[in-house]
Structure formats: C-alpha cells, structure tokens
Amino acid sequence: MAKRISQSSVNWAALSERVPSEQRANLTAFKAKSDAYLRRVLANPPEPPKINWAVYKQSVPIPGMVDNFQKQYEALKIPFPADTQTAQVDAQWAEVKKAIESFVQTANANITKYEKEISSVQALLPYDQMTMEDYRDAYPNEALDPLNKPTFWPHDPNDQPGNYKPEATQAAH
C-alpha cells in the first residue's frame, strides 16, 4: 500500500518569498489546486471498505459465483510503481547545492571586495571640495602631473607626441 498523505510537504511561505511578484497569481492558483487535491485525498479513507462476502453468498443464488469473485478480488494486487527517479533527483539536487554554495562564496567575496571599494571612496573628500592636489593624491594615475609627465592640451592620450602612429597617417593620405 502506498504511503498515506497527511499534509502538503511544500513550504508555501518560503516558496512565495522566492516567486517574482508578476508570478504570484500563478502560484496562488497552483496552491489552490494542490490544496483541493489534498482535501479530496483526505476525504477518502486510507483503506478501501471491506466487503461482507457472507451477505452476497446468501443473496446470490448461483453456487460458487461469490466464492469465485472473492478469490479473484483477494488475488488482485495493484502494484504501486517503484520509485526510480528519487535517486536521480537527489543527485541533481546535490549538484545544484554545490553550484549554489560556489555562487554564494563568489558573491560574498565580491561583496567584500566592493564594500572595501565603497569604504575607500567614501573616505575620499567630496569632489566639490577637492583641490587638484587632493585629486592627484587620490588618483595618481589619472591626475595631470606637469612636472614629471608633461602633456599637451587637451591632455588626451591620443593627442600626445609619444602616441604617433605612422600607419594612421599613411592610410589617411
């Protein structure tokens, strides 16, 4: 005999937290169908009703007919299908758990890195209060340094003398 269902094994509250807001109506409809099915299952007794064969033997005039039916009824066994998928689902779930844990570790590492970046940016002076010297101290690779690395206006790397590419001028002629 199959295991009797007593209650839904679905944690609907946890599931509804993970469902996007535009899919909540579908989840509600699915939950209603699931609850209706569970109520129909629980309305029936766990075992089929017992047949009183003695009453039938007294009321059926053909001898041996009820005994034949009783023997066939008791020999009838409806097999419950064997569970062949749970092991595969459990294996897939183990793989998914590993992927989730890996993602969480990567995400936590990224969060830590970005929190450090945020704290370093928050420690800087606001840009409207920064002088050119403060900007040079905060961003030494991006700031203009006229003494050590003089540049020509508009101070764009493509417009500097060391960035001359003869191929570009020959292709233009």
> Cα separation of 105 and 111, whole Å?
10
**What is the mean predicted confidence (pLDDT) over 147-168?**
76
Q: Is the pLDDT confidence value at 163 over 80? A: no
C-beta of residue 69 within 8 angstroms of C-beta of residue 55: no
Q: Is the pLDDT confidence value at 171 over 70? A: no
pTM for this prediction: 0.43
**What is the mean predicted confidence (pLDDT) over 110-122?**
94
**What is the mean predicted confidence (pLDDT) over 40-56?**
86
C-beta of residue 160 within 8 angstroms of C-beta of residue 151: yes
* DSSP letter, residue 136: H
Q: Which residues pair with 145 in a beta bridge?
A: 149
Enumerate the domain spans of the chain. Answer: 127-162
**What is the mean predicted confidence (pLDDT) over 120-124?**
88
Q: Is the pLDDT confidence value at 94 over 90? A: yes
Q: Residue 135: CB partners within 8 Å, gap ≥ 6?
A: 143
Q: Is the pLDDT confidence value at 1 over 50? A: no
For the ranges 27-31, 48-52, 76-80, 144-148, the lowest mean pLDDT is seen at 144-148
